[in-house]
Structure formats: structure tokens, C-alpha cells
Amino acid sequence: MTTHAIHATPILQALFPNIDDWGEIGHACIDTLLMLGGSLLLTIILGLPLGVLLYLTGRGQLRPMPKLYAIASLLVNILRSVPFIILMIVLMPVTYFLVGTKLGIRGAIPPLVIGAAPFFARLVETALREVEHGVIEASQAMGASLWQIVRHVLLPEARGGLLAGVTVTAIALVGYTAMGGAIGSGGLGDLAYRYGYLSYKSDYMLVTVALLIVLVQLLQMLGDRVVAYYGRR
């Protein structure tokens, strides 16, 4: 919460009579972006290896391990089948253990990552499966080790799909961060919930929703551009 309230111009004041502090909205935007950036980074760091593991141990793949695959797959499915708002509440003790708080940006990041990483891992698995088997076979014929195949063949060849997966995950995380507002994680969702829903200030709701739409649009556009540039030529 800002100490010096930023007051709106008369036009904005007429349009959104309940919003007396635009600085608070700006602050919430920054919180949302911080949660998004932090959780996206950690989601990639956790989800990418998990996705590679799912791919490699799958049936008929490079290192088929049915039991390991079944366990990893089950874990991923369980985490993905719990609605995020419930997952967040269930995970509260874990969150407290990991970051020492259940609130704010720090408190939001563990559930966001635990919710999004399995989702991203599935997208990684799917993207890797799109890599032609022939290319993998060719690198095996050249004497590549498993690690070399992952590092120099699978990941670069699947780059387009992986980046598209990051985009989809980022957009899903925007939704998750907004839900986080309901249990006190801050950000735009928090604003919409507290003012827009609990206090019937529907202009807050309107502004928040508009900002979320803009954020999602920007992410999708950015993602599409990156995919077009780095994707398959």
C-alpha cells in the first residue's frame, strides 16, 4: 500500500468514482508481474527437467522405464487435477515451510510453481515428442550420448514447441496469480477481490480485468514473436 496516494485527473475520477488511489493499482500491477516472473522462472527450472524425464522414460522412447514413468505421470496428473485455488490452500503448510510466510509475493510463489510446473512438464513432453525420430537416430549413429542427444538435439529441435509452451504456461500463471488474490497474495487479483467483489466497487473490477486482458495479450504477442523467430525454420 502506497503512503502517498496518487490522485486521478477529473476525467478518470468521473469514470471511476471509487478509485481514489491509482498508485495502488500500479503497485498491484508490479506485484502481479513479480509473481508472474518469479514463478515462471522457477516453473521452467523445475518443469523442463521433469518434462525431459517424462519424455525419456516413456514407452518406446530413449530410456523406457515404465515404473518411473508411471509414478512421475501420476504425480503430474494429481497436481494438475486439483483446482488451483484448492491446491493453494492445501499447500499452505508447505508454503510456510519453504518461504516462511503464506502471504504476499513470497507466499504465492511456491503454490504457483507447484501448480504450473507439472502443466509445463506435460507441454515439454509433448514438444519433445514432436522431434522426428530420424534426427535422434542419426545422432545415435554419430555416437551421441544420451545427454548430448537431450542437450544438442532434442531441446534445440523442439525450441519452437518449448517456447510456445512457455507462453501458454505464462498465461495460465496470470490466471493463477489472480486467484492467489483471494487468499492474500497481493497483486491485481487481490485488488479485484477486495474492492471489486467484497466492497462492491465494480469500477475496480473493471480496471483490473482490463489490465489482466492487456497483460495476457502482451504475453501472447511476445510469445508468438519469440516462437516465430526461434522456432523451426
Partner 1 sequence: MIRFVDVHKSYRVDGRDIPALQPFSLEVADGEVFGIIGLSGAGKSTLIRLINLLERPSGGTIFVGDTEMTALAEPALRAQRRRIGMIFQHFNLLASQTVADNVAFPMRLAGERDAAVLRQRVDELLARVGLTDHADKYPSQLSGGQKQRVGIARALANRPSILLCDEATSALDPQTTASVLDLLAEINRELKLTIVLITHEMDVVRRVCDRVAVLDAGEIVERGSVIDVFLHPQHATTKRFVNEALPEETIGDEAAFARVPGRILRLSFRGDATWTPVLGQVARDTGIDFNLLAGRIDRIKDMPYGQLTLAMQGERIDAAMSALRKAGIEIEELRP
- Chain residues binding partner 1 by CB under 8 A are 132, 134-135, 137-145, 148, 152-153, 156-157, 159, 232-233
Least separation in angstroms between residue 69's CB and partner 1 is 19
Q: Which long-range contacts (CB under 8 A, 24 or more apart) does 8-15 make?
A: 15/203
3 state SS of 13 = helix
Nearer of residues 52 and 219 to partner 1, judged by Cβ: 52
Least distance to partner 1 from the beta carbon of 232, Å?
5
Nearer to partner 1, 87 or 136 (CB): 136
Nearer to partner 1, 13 or 148 (CB): 148
* Shortest distance in whole angstroms from residue 150 CB to partner 1: 13
Which lies closer to partner 1 via its Cβ, residue 80 or residue 159? 159
Report the nearest approach of partner 1 to the CB of residue 120 (Å). Answer: 21
Q: How many CA atoms lie within 13 A of 73 on its CB side?
A: 14
DSSP character for 183? G
Distance CA 209, CA 199 (A): 16
- Residue 49 sits at the vertex; the CA angle it makes with 124 and 85, to the nearest 5 degrees, is 70
